[in-house]
Amino acid sequence: MTTITLSIDNKQIEADHNVTLLSVFKANDVLIDQICGGQGMCASCHFFVIDGSDSLTAPTQQEQMTLQFTKIDRPGARLACQTRIVGNGVVIGMPQGTFVKSTEYLEQEIGKKAQQTLIHPMTGEILVEAGKLVMRSALEKMKEASNKFAANFSKN
Ligand code: FES
């Protein structure tokens, strides 16, 4: 099997040809989530292509649909569960922060300073930047984004 070299957050990693980036991340302890179970329906496995996009498979229809709906405000976003690596020279950046898994967690953090940037797991939206105070508005933002996301995908 052909081995491919790629860079993830400035770390050189080797992967087999035509495996998903999700498998590559898991095999190399790259922190990533897969809230929808790898169906291309959330933003919890997103990453950013900095260079070498031609060495990745093209976005699937499902991936394009999901990315259109997310609020990831950085170019080059892709979904790791939908993307396979097929060549050398890919340079990847990971989201800086942590995905908020529940509104209950965020509720408990209200009034505290965020230790890391808090990211909505379904939309990729930044809810609270690192070092900023977690306000009730972040909780409302999270609920609103979750509802919109669920409504959109129940239509499909
Ligand atoms: S795990 Fe949900 S889109 Fe990849």
The domain spans of the chain are 3-93, 98-155
Mean pLDDT of 90-105: 92
Quote the pTM value.
0.89
As a whole number, mean pLDDT of residues 46-70 equals: 94
pLDDT at site 148: 80
Measured from the Cα of 41, ligand 1's closest atom is 3
Mutate to test the pocket of ligand 1, among 47, 62, 81 (most ligand atoms within 8 A of CB): 81
Around ligand 1, the residues with Cβ closer than 6 Å are 34-36, 38, 40-42, 44-45, 79, 81
Residue located nearest, by CA, to atom 3 of ligand 1 = 40
- CATH tag, 3-93: 3.10.20.30
- What pLDDT does 155 receive? 64
Average pLDDT over every residue of 31-53: 92
Please state whether beta strands 118-119 and 98-99 pair in parallel, antiparallel, or not at all (unpaired). parallel
Q: What b/e string do you get for 42-65 counting C-beta neighbours within 10 Å, with b at 16 or more?
A: bbbbbbbbeebeebbeebeeebee
Which residue do the tokens 């087999």 mark?
16
Does residue 125 surpass a pLDDT of 60? yes
